[in-house]
A and B are shown apart, each in its own frame.
Chain A
Amino acid sequence: MNVKFNNNEIQLQRSDLAAIRDMIPEGAHILDLGCGSGRLLYALKTLKHAKVMGVEHDQQKILECAARGIPVIHASLDAALTDFRDDTYDYVILSRTIQSVQRPDIILNEMLRIGNRGIVSYMNFGHINARIQMLFGHMPVNRNLPLPWYNTPTIRPGTASDFKDLCKTLKIKICREIPLTNEGDYLRRLAVLWPNLFASNSIFVISK
């Protein structure tokens, strides 16, 4: 029961998590909404000595967070985040979660109420593979979006451009955009030029 974690733990397999890890400064206060089993927070705590806190709704994942020594609150992101006071974190992270909540617009505002900056890892339904599948009349199911429409947690599909439009509407500043692609994707070099078509995933750093 007493799981001890070795150094392999801080290796993050997902490229978006690795990118987020690299942009967090030393000793920052981090809140991760939908933190899963706490891998990212564990890496940030270990490597960046960050003061971390997670929010997660899945009980099994909470037990895994606890085993990693990551403080975590059992809550749904669709409920209000009013447990958290204004301006208490340097960064509020929402990794591959914004498309799984009822109201992405509300949660973006909440992130920037609680934190100074927000980091959103966003799955791009505008990626060329998704567009091709749509062209043939089907919702995309591929490596990045593995589940069919009827049981995917991604209930709010959208493209990277849609996200930017939303930020404009909410008067949220996008400070940084990092388009990401999969290993071995032969079009990956194009992602920097045309992220909405060639990035499978984008990271946005946002602020008020």
Chain B
Amino acid sequence: MAQESCSSSVGIVQPSDYLFEEELPLDCGRSLKGVVIRYETYGKLSPEADNAVLVEHALSGDAHLAGYHSPEDKKPGWWDDMVGPGKPFDTNKLFIVCSNIIGGCSGSTGPRSIDPDTGRRYDMDFPIITIADMVRAQERLMRHLGIKKWFCVAGGSMGGMLALQWGVSYPEAVNGTIAIATTARVSSQGISFNWVSREAIMNDQHWLDGNYEEQPQRGLATARMLAHITYLSDESMNHKFGRALQESPASNYEFAFSKDFRIESYLAHQGSKFVERFDANSYLYITRAIDYFDLSDCADGNLAGALKRVETPFLIVSFSSDWLFPAYQSKELVRALLDNGNDVTYCNIQSSYGHDAFLLETESLGSLISSYLTNLPWEPPE
């Protein structure tokens, strides 16, 4: 088993940085200078540049999609199950690109980067960015890599929003779209979770209006715990934890506010692990970008109108127990695409894993992705 997973791994990979000097205009009216984009690639770009696939990461993801950075790494990239030789994103055939979004904290320019104008960290002077801004930065990376058109742009959760935005922003540069466990417009419930997450961070006394040297650990951990609940489902939590107590064999309640239940210590663990790898200010900026995401904005709220110029086939996948971006939101997208006459394949995969299913239901999701990519015709760029 171990050997098998080794042989289908992309192996050791190195991230690259692309710095572009040309100013990047933003939706908010401001612009960014000296933007760096951290990215990784897997597989080989064909001489015709007709096999490039852009995979978009979710809120807390990064450019490290698959493989290992060093032989000592314990964990592979975040979607290693899906990307590699013979895997659904087959690196024997495809050239896969994954880049850290701007606003992030894993190598690309974000609120903790140095503002070239002042020589100091941006922190809260970083401009508010949108999903479309993130895509605008990626379009520069695409050109830098010698690619005129992506064979496909794919992503789950916030990554799905980026994938959808790509088609709307640059219809001529997208040949196919895979949008998983996502939405074309973030709902009131989605905005609510983000608001509470940001409140937790900004009310942490260590946040210091964003000028912290040490992370506002409590606030960021609380934000993550809340978000983590939205990634699970009632069913998966019951299945995994039930009312099990921490002490084993479980004897009694502590009659205190310490961590009695296993789910409590699990959440606390998720929170503290997150603080080690993610930045609080980035969390604020990225969740705001998610709040502002409504693909139909550019067509006065008409989703089909917004997608009018996107003529490519789509693969849309939702998960039955996802309550962060429930299936009805994918169906809304499907309806708009049918209105436009696009070829659409839509599957609401039966799963108890909640929103996280997009990382866990690798068999059925992998089969859909693999089939979609195998059958996707290539329309060369004009």
Contact = CB atoms under 8 A, between A and B. Distances in A.
Interface of A: 1-3, 53, 59, 62-63, 65-74, 82-85, 88
Most chain B CB within 10 A, of A2, A74, A84, is at A74
Given A66-B345, A74-B347, A83-B331, 13 more contacts: A2-B374, A3-B371, A63-B347, A66-B347, A66-B371, A67-B367, A71-B313, A71-B343, A73-B334, A73-B344, A74-B348, A83-B335, A85-B339
Contact of A59 (B331, B339, B349, B370): B349
List the 8 closest pairs (A to B, CB-CB), nearest first.
A69-B375, A66-B371, A71-B343, A67-B371, A83-B335, A1-B370, A74-B347, A73-B346
A67 B338 CA distance: 20
B88 interface: yes
B305 interface: no
A72 B372 CA distance: 11
B339 A63 contact: no
Contact of A62 (B313, B331, B347): B347
A113 to B, nearest CB: 14
B188 to A, nearest CB: 23
Contacts of A3: 371
Interface in B297-343: 313, 315, 331, 334-335, 338-339, 341, 343
B265 interface: no
Contacts of A88: 338, 341
Nearest to B320: A59
Contacts of A68: 371, 375
A71 B371 contact: no
B364 interface: yes
A59 B320 CA distance: 11
B344 A71 contact: yes
Contacts of B371: 1-3, 63, 66-69
Nearest to B373: A2
Contacts of B313: 71
9 contacts: A1-B370, A53-B344, A63-B364, A66-B345, A66-B347, A70-B345, A71-B344, A74-B346, A85-B339
Nearest to A70: B345
B7 interface: no
A88 B347 CA distance: 22
B374 A72 contact: no
Given A66-B371, A71-B313, A83 B334 contact: yes
Contacts of A69: 371, 374-375
Contacts of A63: 347, 364, 367-368, 371
A59 B364 contact: yes
Contacts of A2: 90, 370-371, 374
Nearest to A71: B343
B338 A83 contact: yes
Contacts of A85: 338-339
Nearest to A73: B346
Contacts of B345: 62, 65-66, 70-73
Contacts of B203: none
B366 interface: yes
B31 interface: no
B360 to A, nearest CB: 16
B380 to A, nearest CB: 19
B367 A53 contact: no
B368 A66 contact: yes
A24 to B, nearest CB: 18
B91 to A, nearest CB: 14
B211 interface: no
A66 B338 contact: no
A67 B376 CA distance: 11
Nearest to B344: A71
Nearest to A29: B341
B16 interface: no
Nearest to A66: B371
Nearest to B368: A66
Nearest to B374: A2
Most chain A CB within 10 A, of B88, B313, B341, B367, is at B367
Interface string B206-245: 0000000000000000000000000000000000000000
B14 interface: no
Contacts of A67: 367, 371
A83 B339 CA distance: 8
B367 A1 contact: yes
Nearest to B336: A83
B350 interface: yes
Contacts of B343: 53, 71
A53 B341 CA distance: 10
B350 A72 contact: no
Contacts of A71: 313, 343-345
